[in-house]
C-alpha cells in the first residue's frame, strides 16, 4: 500500500527549460559552451548542496574574462526565464488526488537558492505536505541521504513510498533503495501510472 509519494520538481511539477536557458546565458556572455559546461559540472554539486550561493556560482560559470556578472544580468539571464517556466497542471491535479486519498506528498528536488526563492514567491510549492531542497539539507539525489531526508519528512518507509522523477539515474537509485517508482514523461502518463500503482483514480 502506498502511504507517501516523493516527486521531483523541475521537469515533473513545472517545465524544465534550464538547458535552453543556460545555453542562451552562455551565448549572451560570450562564454564557449565547452567551457561553460566544464565549469557548470565542476561547481554544480557545491551549488546544489548549499556550499556556494547562486550568484557566486553563476559568476564563476559565466566568467567571460572581460566584465564580471552583474546582479541585473543574473536576473535577466537566469531568474526571469526560470519564472516563465509553467506548471504541469495535470501533475498538480494528480498530487491533489493522492492527498485526497490519504497519500502524503513531498517534493524532493536538487535546487539552488534562487530557484527556491523564485518558486516560493510564485507559490509553486502549495499543495505538498513537505518540501525537501538539496541546498538546505546539504545532500542531493541520487545519493541516499537525500531520499532519507524526504522519507523522514513524511514519516514513511521506502517500500511504502512512490518516487516520481524525470531523471533515469534518480529513478534507478530509488529502485535500488526499495522505492516503487514512476519514470515521468508526461502528466497523462503519470496519472495512468498512479492509477495502476495506487489502485485508485487521481485528479
133 and 37 in one domain? no
198 — pLDDT class (breaks 50, 70, 90): confident
Map residue 184 onto helix, strand or coil.
Answer: coil
121 and 148 in one domain? yes
191 and 99 in one domain? yes
In a domain, 102, yes or no: yes
Give pLDDT tens digits for 113-159.
Answer: 999 999 999 999 999 999 999 999 999 999 999 999 999 999 999 99
Q: What pTM was computed for the model?
A: 0.93
Mean pLDDT to the nearest integer, 90-110 = 96
User: At which of 83, 112, 137 does a domain end?
Assistant: 83
Which helix or strand (DSSP H or E) is residue 80 part of? helix 80-83
Mean pLDDT to the nearest integer, 44-61 = 98
172 and 192 in one domain? yes
Per the listing, cell 513524511 goes with 154
Q: In the 3-class helix/strand/coil scheme, how is 110-174 assigned residue by residue?
A: CCCHHHHHHHHHCCCCCCCCEEEEHHHHCCCCCCHHHHHHHHHHHCCCHHHEEEEECCHHHHHHH
In a domain, 203, yes or no: no
Mean pLDDT to the nearest integer, 38-65 = 98
55 and 151 in one domain? no
61 and 145 in one domain? no
Per the listing, cell 513537505 goes with 130
9 and 95 in one domain? yes
> Would you say residue 108 has pLDDT above 90?
yes
Mean pLDDT to the nearest integer, 36-43 = 98
> Would you say residue 95 has pLDDT above 90?
yes
46 and 9 in one domain? no
61 — pLDDT class (breaks 50, 70, 90): very high
Give yes or no for a cis peptide into 29 (omega within 30° of 0). no
Give pLDDT tens digits for 179-188.
Answer: 999 999 999 9
User: At which of 65, 83, 101 does a domain end?
Assistant: 83
Map residue 4 onto helix, strand or coil.
Answer: strand
Residue 201: per-residue pLDDT? 55
Question: Any idea what the CATH number is for the domain that residue 93 is in?
Answer: 3.40.50.1000
Residue 200: per-residue pLDDT? 56
Give pLDDT tens digits for 1-12.
Answer: 899 999 999 999
In a domain, 72, yes or no: yes
User: At which of 61, 83, 105 does a domain end?
Assistant: 83
- The count of structural domains within the chain is 2
> Would you say residue 79 has pLDDT above 90?
yes
136 and 41 in one domain? no
22 and 11 in one domain? no
Residue 81: per-residue pLDDT? 97
171 and 100 in one domain? yes
Name the residue range of residue 36's domain: 18-83
177 and 103 in one domain? yes
β-bridge partners, 186: none
Residue 196: per-residue pLDDT? 87
In a domain, 95, yes or no: yes
Amino acid at each position: 500500500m502506498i502511504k507517501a509519494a516523493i516527486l521531483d520538481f523541475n521537469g515533473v511539477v513545472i517545465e524544465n527549460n534550464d538547458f535552453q536557458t543556460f545555453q542562451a546565458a552562455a551565448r549572451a556572455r560570450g562564454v564557449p559552451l565547452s567551457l561553460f559546461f566544464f565549469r557548470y559540472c565542476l561547481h554544480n554539486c557545491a551549488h546544489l548542496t548549499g556550499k556556494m550561493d547562486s550568484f557566486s556560482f553563476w559568476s564563476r560559470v559565466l566568467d567571460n574574462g572581460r566584465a564580471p556578472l552583474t546582479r541585473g544580468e543574473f536576473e535577466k539571464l537566469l531568474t526571469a526565464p526560470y519564472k516563465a517556466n509553467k506548471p504541469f497542471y495535470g501533475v498538480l491535479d494528480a498530487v491533489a488526488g493522492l492527498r485526497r486519498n490519504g497519500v502524503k506528498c513531498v517534493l524532493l528536488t536538487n535546487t539552488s537558492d534562487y530557484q527556491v526563492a523564485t518558486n516560493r514567491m510564485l507559490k509553486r510549492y502549495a499543495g505538498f505536505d513537505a518540501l525537501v531542497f538539496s541546498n538546505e539539507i546539504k545532500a542531493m539525489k541520487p545519493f541516499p541521504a537525500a531520499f532519507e531526508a524526504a522519507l523522514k519528512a513524511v514519516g514513511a518507509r521506502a517500500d511504502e513510498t512512490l518516487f516520481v522523477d524525470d531523471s533515469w539515474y534518480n529513478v534507478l537509485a530509488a529502485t535500488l533503495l526499495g522505492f516503487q517508482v514512476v519514470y515521468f514523461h508526461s502528466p497523462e502518463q503519470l496519472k495512468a501510472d498512479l492509477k495502476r500503482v495506487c489502485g485508485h483514480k487521481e485528479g
